[in-house]
Amino acid sequence: PPHAPFLSIPDGTPESEYGPIVERAAKAALSRKANVLFIVQAFAPPQPSPDTQAQALTDVTDHLAAGVAAHIEKAGAQSIQIEMHAMTDPSATKPFVRVDVR
């Protein structure tokens, strides 16, 4: 089975709710490994056309992944320590972001 993500945040979660959690988790990861890499992945369910798929990926990136990455940076990570991806996930029922560390 796939490993559990470091963090997983469903679309629609208010920034006021996920922000402090992301910062606390990022600070903990940075305290254990100063050069940790945060892999921020935005996922969107399949859409009926390439245009709507691209829009769904853009939306989850703009509305959730960018905010998550900003909170990781606010916790002390350098921008070079944040890798971002956006992809379609056929098993997703709604957009979400997951963060893994390496």
Q: How many domains does the chain have?
A: 1
DSSP structural state of residue 19: H
72 within domain boundaries = yes
Enclosing domain of residue 31: 1-48+68-82
Asked if residue 102 lies in contact with residue 37, where contact means CB atoms within 8 angstroms, the answer is yes
Residue 59 placed within a domain:
no
> Please, are residues 61 and 35 in contact by the beta-carbon 8 Å criterion?
no
pLDDT, tens digit (0-9, with 9 covering 90-100), for 50-67 = 999 999 999 999 999 999
17-51 confidence digits (pLDDT tens): 999 999 999 999 999 999 999 999 999 999 999 99
**Cα 80 to Cα 83: distance, rounded to the nearest angstrom:** 7
User: Which residue's entry shows tokens 């991806």?
Assistant: 85
pLDDT (tens digit per residue) in 82-96 = 999 999 999 999 999
- Whether residue 3 is predicted with pLDDT greater than 90 in this model: the reply is no
